[in-house]
Structure 1
Amino acid sequence: MKIIRSIDDFDHVFSVVEYEDEYVGTDHSLFIEKKSTYISDFSEDYITRLFLEGVHIAFIQKSRREDFGCYIRTDGPYLQMHFELEGEVIYNAKDYGGMDCSIPSGFHTLFYFPALYGYLVYPTVKKGFGIEIEITLNYLRRVFNDDLELLGSFAKDIRHERPTMLGGKCFPITPRMKEVLIDMFHCPFTDQLKKIFIEGKLLELLSLQVNQLMQADDFPRKEELRPEDIDRIEEAKKIIENHIENPYSIEELSKLVGINRTKLQKDFKTVYDKTIFGHLADLRMEKAQYLLKTEQHMKISEIARKIGYKNANHFSAAYKHRYGIIPRLLRS
């Protein structure tokens, strides 16, 4: 499988990664571990990768001083278990009939795409940690003895090659899931012992995800939020709208309105059907549109700063993704 990333709708490719079939070929005994570091003016990534048959695990410790977005596509099916312990990832599909996927901090999901083709956003985060577990369809079928019916509509969508998320949404990371993920990251073993350990933890994680899906009817719904919780969420929305140039972090916002970060993000999405970052992104683009049309003397770089972008190129890429043209062309 090939994964291609680009800044400008694949006109300027900056990353092409090609994996072997089943990530390590067909050698059942093979186990590979790699570490890498990526540092730029606005981000630092420290990644530990594990490869075993049918699975690629990436533990991503990340720091982003500003929002970063890029286009991404694959040349084949893409199946991933994603756990966002600290930070947020947003995928907006560009293909017709595609599926958007937003994973806020403290949430997880299992998703499938016949092929990725969309825009990926990594919001600002001081000290983020995400775990991406890419698995093949063969691996999933082996785990379930070639019977995916337990996964309900998720299995049906895979059969019909439709993009899908397990349970149709993201779910909160449970304390046990977090324990398993940390155990995997800090595994004390090496070589084959580590392979056996990781394989066992993977099966537990998948079991925990599916079990949570089966208990989904017990999750609170929008109408079950208490009035005081809704008041706090509305207060958070007003704060976001008044500080789009220098927005508060999720942690700071949660302290201002008096509820913990995980509940803030979950309840915000319940009330407004979008993530906090998604709402902030909408506000920024709306203000940019207004300034471009009414402030002809203002440079593009000034507008970018006005709405919270330190890098004008990142603003232009985000604007083009939203409106289909670069800001400069709107004025011309």
Structure 2
Amino acid sequence: MEYTAYISKAEDFFNIFTEKYNFMGESTGIQHKYRVAEEYGSGCMDRYSLKNGLEICMINLCLKKAIQFQFKTSLPVFEVVYCTQGRVLRNEQGMGELLLNEGNMVIYVRGKYEGFIEIPANMNIKCISIAAYNPFSGIFRYDPDGCDEGYGRADIKSLDDLMRPHPICPWLKAPFSEMQGCTFSGIAKLMYLECKAMEIISFALEKKIISREKTEIAVMLRKTDIEKINLARQIIHENITDPLSVDELSERVKLNSCKLKSGFKHLYGNTIFGYLKDIRLEKARELLDAGHDMNINEIVNEVGYSNTGHFARAFREKYGVNPKDYRLRT
């Protein structure tokens, strides 16, 4: 990697994509859109620059060519990143390689540091980043007199165990999903996104942002194994109404079931059937958002559930609201 970006302010990061990779930038006040250049693929990054150094970036893209660059920065940042689809590789000095897979999230608390970022090709990437720049003079400045920039530093120091990718708690997916599905416009949208971002950050400070599952032994995967697991994921998407069993999936992709299960969990942060459940519910949410004439029972059948009650419980567990109430809010 010959290209190194020097980041001294938030927009420097996004300038990498416009100057080096020909993304097309559009700005309207505090809202910015960076469209992927046709030569690199499709999609965009939506960035919202809010008050007190708070920034939200929603990434939704699919690249024809991988993007990889080194960076150096001395800009203090507190950042929460959640990957809802695909994966992103980040390597930082002192932390090593951080692979953020689908269904995982990570917290970055940094001052002066350097590393590199890689966004892979031929994969749909969806991530949400909530970043607070210069946080101790911005969003964490909550001392009674408004003059102590050290307020909250002890809370930040306690987050060391969260600074590696972890599976997100199911109930915390709701505010992220609500951010992605927000239909408000103008100042109402900005206020809504800011409230959701602060809700997520507050959970981070309370160390409730990850599921407390046992750390699993690292899975050794060859390139061919990863290709077969990616194929299994594609087959799952194509058969959500009539899914294959693990053994059938294993036979289809020519990978033993033990490695398929452990490798799938390693790459995507979820079990095979947990992943199937998530994409069924996500499709149901999209159908509810679409506002067409399908009733709840039709949506239940469309996403592969055979029991409306089971579907409603699963939807409420994932999004924190019943399907009928969710439809009324959209």
Query: TM-score range with shorter-chain normalisation?
Result: 0.5 to 0.7
Unaligned runs of 5+ in 1: 1-6, 22-29, 155-164, 224-229, 269-332
Q: What letter is aligned with 1:133?
A: I
Q: Deviations over 1:138-188 (max 9, x none)?
A: 33413687224344434xxxxxxxxxx552422212333332122212322
**Alpha-carbon distance between aligned partners in 2 of 1:147 and 1:33, rounded to the nearest angstrom:** 29
What's 1:222 paired with?
216
Verify the 8 A CA contact 1:90 1:121 in the aligned structure 2: yes
TM-score (normalised: structure 2):
0.55
Residue aligning to 2:78:
79
Map of 2:308 onto structure 1? none
Displacement of 1:45: 3.5
Equivalent AA in structure 2 for residue 182 of structure 1: S
For residue 44 of structure 2, the aligned residue among 26, 32, 46 is 46
Task: Sort the Cα spacing of 1:75 and 1:194 in 2 relative to 1 into closer, same or farther, 3 A.
Answer: same
Alpha-carbon distance change, 140 to 103 in structure 1, aligned in 2, over 3 angstroms: farther
* Structure 1 partner of 2:121: 124
Match of 2:183 among 181, 188, 193: 188
Identity of aligned residues (%): 16
Q: Which consecutive unaligned segments of at least 5 residues does structure 2 have? A: 13-27, 145-150, 237-248, 251-256, 271-330
Is the partner of 1:39 in helix, strand or coil?
Answer: coil
Change (3 A) 1:139 1:267: same
Q: d(CA) in 1 for partners of 2:29 and 2:168? A: 27
Q: Which string of whole-angstrom CA distances, capped at 9 and with x for unpartnered residues, describes residues 90-110 of structure 1?
A: 2223x5x46543322211111
Corresponding residue SS for 2:30:
strand
1:78/1:115 contact within 8 Å kept:
no
| Cα separation, 2, equivalents of 1:148 and 1:80 | 15
Task: Give the drift of 1:49.
Answer: 1.2
Asked whether the 8 Å contact 1:110–1:166 carries over to 2, the reply is no
Distance in 1 (alpha carbons) for counterparts of 2:115 and 2:66: 17
User: Once the 2 structures are TM-superposed, how far is the Cα of residue 119 of structure 1 from its aligned partner?
Assistant: 1.8
Equivalent position to 1:252, from 215, 232, 241: 232
Indicate if the aligned counterparts of 2:167 and 2:269 stay in contact, CA closer than 8 A: no
CA distance in 2, matches of 1:89, 1:77: 22
Cα separation, 1, equivalents of 2:164 and 2:143: 22
CA distance 1:261–1:213, change in 2 (3 Å): farther
Give the structure 2 partner of residue 8 of structure 1. 2
TM-score if structure 1 supplies the norm length? 0.55
Quickly say closer, same or farther: Cα 1:201–1:261, change in 2 above 3 A.
farther
Q: Which amino acid in structure 2 is aligned with residue 120 of structure 1? A: I
* Counterpart Cα distance in 2 of 1:167 and 1:202: 18
How large is the Cα RMSD of the aligned pairs? 3.8
Give runs of aligned pairs for residues 1-332 of structure 1, distance below 5 A: 7-10=1-4, 18-19=9-10, 32-53=30-51, 54-93=53-92, 95=93, 97=94, 99-136=96-133, 137=135, 138-142=137-141, 146-154=151-159, 165=160, 167-213=162-208, 218-222=212-216, 237=221, 240-242=222-224, 247-248=227-228, 250=230, 252=232, 255-256=249-250, 257=257, 259=261, 263-265=265-267
Residues 32, 261 of structure 1: alpha-carbon distance in 2 compared, 3 angstrom cutoff: farther
Q: Distance in 2 between matches of 1:98 and 1:118?
A: 9
- Range with greater deviation from structure 2 (70-79 or 254-263): 254-263
CA distance, structure 1, for counterparts of residue 139 and residue 50 of structure 2: 14
Q: Distance in 1 between matches of 2:192 and 2:165?
A: 26
> In structure 2, do the counterparts of structure 1 residues 140 and 248 end up closer, same or farther at CA, with 3 Å as the change threshold?
farther
C-alpha deviation, 1:50, in angstroms: 0.9
Judged with a 3 Å threshold, the aligned counterparts in structure 2 of structure 1 residues 48 and 168 are, in CA distance, closer, same or farther, namely closer
